[in-house]
Structure 1
Amino acid sequence: MGKDESKNLVKEPDLSYGNYTYADYLTWDMEEMVELIKGKVFKKAAAAPKRIHQWLTGNLHTEMNLFLKGKKCQAYIAPFDVRLPVNSKKDDKIPTVVQPDICVVCDMDKLDDRGCIGAPDLVVEVLSPGNKQVELQHKYEVYEESGVKEYWLVDPEGQIVLIYTLIRGKYQSTRIMTIGDTAKSSVIEGFELDLEEFFAEIK
């Protein structure tokens, strides 16, 4: 980064302002991770995610990567910027930039050096005590509106998984799945996750 660029970095955006764009996001120089949802800044938890969050996220990403080897889709793990345009793909017109724990992209034209522009085919969010409201409300809405075909919510504390599938523009959910169930993806055809094995090593 050149001297001219570094002078323009902003240490702390105004959290009460609700009209930021991806262009603004690129100017922020913050120690903690932030996401931008419909123009409003949401800080990620100041502390690192809990060990179990990282353990489960890493394990699920590994399972997906192994399954997708040689296939057209690719799985990415946070931090990885997903830009969700509304009417324009220009940086100063994009109101939402999120960092899902895991996302799967099957349209390679959506990938560039900065991440993904447009809705991934599948998104996974592993819940943490500090981020449940964001995942359950704000991200649910923006993923649905943006056309994310499948949205997995994983709750390490409750050892449950809930899958939302986009049908005619609206999410429909599975029943709550837990140990003894097998979570199956309709977007990554053939991918299954044995929840007893998945949650077995939580201690």
Structure 2
Amino acid sequence: MGKDDLKSRVEEPPSLYGHYTYADYLTWKMDEMVELIKGKIFKQAAAPRVNHQRLSLKISTELYSILKGKKCEVFAAPFDVRLPVKSKKHEDIDTVVQPDICVVCDPDKLDELGCVGAPDLIVEILSPGNNRKELQNKYEVYEESGVKEYWVIHPNECTLLIYNLINGKYQASKLFTHGDVVKSDAVEGFQLDLSEIFENIQ
């Protein structure tokens, strides 16, 4: 195989039906953001919408303010979170996600490429076209990898559902909305007044 052939193989978008690892992921040159879940590629449907970005900024700002000077750190997408099963080697990792927001309290999980291992808190803000990915596929890998707390926000409905990891399985909260103040069990001191968070969300 010639040099040009190899270059074209690396830059060619991968098939949606293959099985890939983080080692493959690092070679791709793609204009759109993709995630790997158990080796399968999931593409983002489109750029996040205005309400999505409003919510992401509000929540990230709250977290940054609370965590400033503390061990835990907040990160917003795009930010690679690798969820290893067998080992931390690139070729052994087949799940790489980009949560909208995540909090990592163990500095040993951070490297120059992002996070390797389960964050303590993940917040996903649903967008049209990716609800199934968030609610089914990501739920499974977050539970399996030990993400302590997983928040799912539905901008159009102004609702929040919290999954807490208890004995290795997620237990869902009630559905929160305007008027509720929610607290995190995984991140000390973090709480949200949902009336403020959902203000100006149409």
Find the counterpart in structure 2 of residue 10 from structure 1: 11
Q: Percent identity?
A: 63
C-alpha distance in structure 2 between counterparts of 1:139 and 1:153, whole Å: 11
Question: 2:100 aligned with 1:104, yes or no?
Answer: no
One-letter amino acid matched to 1:40: K
Find the counterpart in structure 1 of residue 129 from structure 2: 130
Tell me, yes or no, if the aligned pair for 1:79 and 1:101 is still in contact at 8 Å: yes
Find the counterpart in structure 2 of residue 121 from structure 1: 120
Q: How does 1:166-177 map to 2 (within 5 A)?
A: 166-177=165-176
SS at match of 1:55: helix
Q: What's the TM-score, normalizing by structure 2? A: 0.95
Tell me, yes or no, if the aligned pair for 1:161 and 1:183 is still in contact at 8 Å: no
Q: How does 1:45-194 map to 2 (within 5 A)?
A: 45=45, 47-194=46-193
C-alpha distance in structure 2 between counterparts of 1:97 and 1:191, whole Å: 26
Q: Structure 1 unaligned runs (5+)?
A: none
Deviation string 1:117-171 (CA, Å, 9 cap, x unpaired) is 0000000000001110100000000000000000000110000000000000000
C-alpha distance in structure 2 between counterparts of 1:201 and 1:64, whole Å: 20
One-letter amino acid matched to 1:75: V
Question: 2:33 aligned with 1:27, yes or no?
Answer: no
Deviation string 1:73-112 (CA, Å, 9 cap, x unpaired) is 0000000000000011100000100000000000000000
Q: What's the TM-score, normalizing by structure 1? A: 0.94
C-alpha distance in structure 1 between counterparts of 2:138 and 2:85, whole Å: 15
Report runs of 4+ in structure 1 exceeding 6 Å deviation.
none
One-letter amino acid matched to 1:146: S
C-alpha distance in structure 2 between counterparts of 1:66 and 1:130, whole Å: 32
C-alpha distance in structure 1 between counterparts of 2:28 and 2:44, whole Å: 14
- The CA RMSD over aligned residues, in Å, is 1.4
Count of residues in Structure 1 that have an aligned counterpart in Structure 2: 198
